[in-house]
Amino acid sequence: MTIYFYKVWQPFGCFSNFSPHGIEIHGIYWSTVEHYYQAQKFVGSVDAVIIPVIRAATTPEEAAALGRCSSRKLRSDWDLVKTQVMREAVFKKFFTHTDIREILLNTGNEVLVENSPTDYFWGCGADNTGQNHLGKVLMSVREDLRQLQLLTVFSVDCLGEKG
C-alpha cells in the first residue's frame, strides 16, 4: 500500500517539511526542514542577505514564501544541489527526532508519496505524474536509518564478545 502524505495535520504529516521538527546543521538551528531548504537556495548568491530572514521566519509557510520570491537570485548550482540539500536536512530531521524516526521506519517498504497537487518535482502533482523526489528522499533516508540501526546492533554485539 502506498503511503501518501502532504499536510502536517494529516496522517504521516511528520513527513512534511513543514512539520515542527527542528534541525541543527553546521551548528545552526533551523525551525523546520522548510526553513533550511529555502535558505540554502541563496548560499553564495547576491541575495544571500535573505538567509537570516528566512531562518527567523515565524512559520514554514513564511519561510517558503520568502524562498520562492521570483525576484531573488538563486545560487548558480541550485538545480544541481537541491536534492542533496533536501536529503541532508531530511536525514538530520529523522536522525534527531526518535519519535518520527520510528514512524518512518515502521512504514516498512511502502512507497512514500508527497501528495502535493501543485508540486511536480518534490510531489506527485495533481494527476500523479510528478517525480515525487521528496518521497524518494524519505525512502532513501529510511534505508540509511535501517543500516545505521544494524550497525549499532552489530557494534553492541561485537563489543560485548570476549576475544
CA distances from 67 to 23, 40, 75, 95, 143 (A): 18, 9, 12, 25, 29
How does pLDDT run along the chain (163 residues), one tens digit per residue? 999 999 999 999 999 999 999 999 999 999 999 999 999 999 999 999 999 999 999 999 999 999 999 999 999 999 999 999 999 999 999 999 999 999 999 999 999 999 999 999 999 999 999 999 999 999 999 999 999 988 776 665 556 555 4
24 close to 55: Cβ distance less than 8 angstroms: no
Handedness of CA 53, 58, 63, 65 (dihedral sign): negative
Structural domains of the chain, with CATH: 3-160 (1.10.357.40)
Q: Rounded distance, CA 72 to CA 159, Å?
A: 53
pTM of the model: 0.92
